[in-house]
Homo-oligomer: A and B are copies of this chain.
């Protein structure tokens, strides 16, 4: 059915915290390739209480990758890891969607938020793609902020922002912030857009405690429906429904969650509020800004991804060991003495910090050691390292030798250069 209709209007479902459950929301989004989560958040001052009366921001969140790939491993007693995956096709799709969205709905500015001062490869990729693609949209202002400062400024002065594009986890956090400070958590809709299929939903979760009480605010699902209509190109219809909803809100028809003695006119239950919106179809709001989705044209096109191949060369390997000693020099010495393998030990880190050679005694060491090997022939001088190609056989021989010497390799990460450029980060202090 999904395959035939290409759109889904979904009601809230809940993922239990902890335990063994995979999030069904995440499964749906990812299996269906719904790469873009779109959350418009607008202040409804004075009808909904907020400090930020001019807020009108759209958060466009990458929806398929990042830490939400859910790839986690425990391989020692002390340490657990989760893989953050950022992909070029993923970045290209979401960044282009953000700029296309800005054009389609007449938005002026797109702000990119990531943390590439720390995550230079992953968040760096997102930011670089943002810079590349923004150049194709000179009519839209492109702006970048580090996520910590960006989140803080969004929380304190959301009126600075128009469209924000960001990766999955950051987007999860800032879209909740935006909705909460606008007072609209129970009011806002969101879209999950794929190349073939799209899913629309309220941003709030399920509320089993009020089942059957008829007090739920249907606004979240209504706003989701408005987004669905505009996605389908029915932007006139979308404006009509949205404007009727705005009229109902500004005329004081309020469900219990936003009802305030004085400013509200009528306390309505779920179906009474829905009827109030239906009665106002065709009307335009008086005080709140009207919906103008139709004006942008509503057309969004995302081209297919074309992989740009770079020359990829294997230049080393990170061997991760489970080792319960505490002195880095001990494991460092033992590994340095294993020679004749075509590979040499360059350094050892613990939680990313170089501890061999020349570590600092204060660095705390867990039982999870990353040992970096490069070609015996590589010349690694300060400031101008020259790596040399190694072979897969080198890696297999090294693993065999390590195993024989009693070192437990728990994971490996190959080191590559792409067009001669390092495709791996250095250790802290390397």
Contacts and interface: CB of A to CB of B under 8 A. Distances in A.
B360 A75 contact: no
Contact of A30 (B353, B392, B399): B353
A-B pairs, top 9 by smallest CB distance, nearest first, are A69-B352, A74-B423, A152-B180, A155-B155, A72-B121, A152-B176, A72-B425, A148-B176, A82-B84
Given A77-B308, A416-B74, A426-B22, A68 B118 contact: yes
Contacts of A366: 87, 89-90
Contacts of A408: 392
A88 to B, nearest CB: 5
A369 to B, nearest CB: 12
Interface stretch (A10-18, A97-105, A265-273, A340-348): A10-18
Given A176-B148, A353-B30, A77 B360 contact: no
A237 to B, nearest CB: 27
A250 interface: no
A117 B80 contact: no
Interface in A152-182: 152-153, 155-156, 169-170, 172-173, 175-177, 179-181
Interface in A53-106: 64-65, 67-90
Contacts of A423: 73-75, 80
23 contacts: A15-B117, A18-B116, A18-B117, A20-B426, A23-B117, A26-B428, A27-B428, A30-B428, A33-B362, A64-B364, A69-B428, A70-B352, A70-B425, A71-B370, A77-B308, A77-B312, A78-B87, A82-B122, A83-B83, A152-B176, A195-B364, A197-B362, A410-B414
A31 B360 contact: yes
Interface residues of A, number: 121
Contact of A173 (B65, B120, B148): B148
A21 to B, nearest CB: 8
Contacts of A412: 411-412
A213 B274 CA distance: 60
Interface string A390-430: 00110010011001000011111111101000011111110
A196 B310 CA distance: 47
A133 interface: no
A45 interface: no
Contacts of A169: 115
Interface string A314-329: 0000100010100000
Given A68-B352, A80-B121, 11 more contacts: A30-B351, A31-B360, A70-B425, A72-B424, A75-B416, A83-B83, A84-B84, A152-B173, A170-B173, A396-B399, A411-B413
A262 interface: no
Nearest to A179: B152
Given A72-B121, A119-B67, A119-B72, A400 B411 contact: no
